[in-house]
Structure 1
């Protein structure tokens, strides 16, 4: 994950209640630009360092723990974000700004999700894409939780 992506994503994850954020290096935390954009969200969000060379093993471990590995990528088999139902245990894998998700990791995904687009330019900034998927996950599970609470209190 590039530093630029880390800058706002930590804050987005904390705001929407993500259970954690995996970074390629915890050294990003000492970057002044990171600190100014994260607005101390790193204090409230569990952060985990996974080096790029260890990422495939980490994803395999998460799969064995029952996580659905979801990638944001435009592929022939991508599901439209509007139609996708996020499992409770979801791990969102983000690619690089230009290259996307590396081929060796793409094959580990359970699902590829793409964001419907109208314009000529066919890609969004990675942080924007991540924020949209995190919000959609949150929206789906907040609705589920609030419906459970409503039915229990009736």
Structure 2
């Protein structure tokens, strides 16, 4: 008997067949529960629609990404890395390689990137792993292009980017080391008219990314 009484105490719906006052109206318990269930079902449907819409938006972003990977592992200044992150996201690069992904926690980085790192796939490729990374991407069908002034560099405006391109950027002031130049498929340079020899790495990277994008837009 005690057990039965205990069960009665913990059964919350035992009196749901009694009239209830809801919003000033008297309704039967079962009817009230039915309305609650309908409301909950409606909420679930709205949540499902919201999730479906979000997933569709994410898939649309993924499908519209270009087959461009920018390798900035040799770049070490936060403002340049943040600017490149923003540029790569704006032009929907498939990824940006950096030497250390912890930079995204830096306050200065976040001020410049304006959340671009949340929408852009970023890969951690330490400097000593760059050559291995480039070889791996070549096996995946990518062409490895360096942005560097060399004796054999082609002017950017005369170069046709393959759709699957890995763009390698050099160190500030020093450029791309010789050992990495040897594994590149080609080098491109931005024609310059002024006296100063080179552009800031973020600026030159942005120009090259835009030229790649311009060509892909024409092709499609």
Per the TM superposition, whether the score is higher than 0.5 is yes
Deviations 1:87-123 (A, max 9, x none): 0000000000111001110101101001011011110
For 1:1-154, what aligned pairs fall within 5 Å after superposition? Answer: 1-2=75-76, 3-145=78-220
Q: Distance in 2 between matches of 1:82 and 1:31?
A: 35
Unaligned runs of 5+ in 1: 146-154
TM-score using structure 1 length = 0.92
Deviations 1:57-92 (A, max 9, x none): 101101111111111111110001111000000000
Return structure 1 stretches of 4+ with deviation > 2 angstroms. none
Structure number with higher relative contact order (C-alpha < 8 Å, ≥ 6 residues apart): 1
Q: Per-residue deviation at 1:5? A: 2.0
Q: How many residues align?
A: 145
Unaligned runs of 5+ in 2: 1-74
Higher-Rg structure is 2
Q: Distance in 2 between matches of 1:4 and 1:50?
A: 19
Q: Per-residue deviation at 1:7? A: 1.5
SS at match of 1:122: coil
2:51 corresponds to: none
Q: Distance in 2 between matches of 1:89 and 1:118?
A: 30
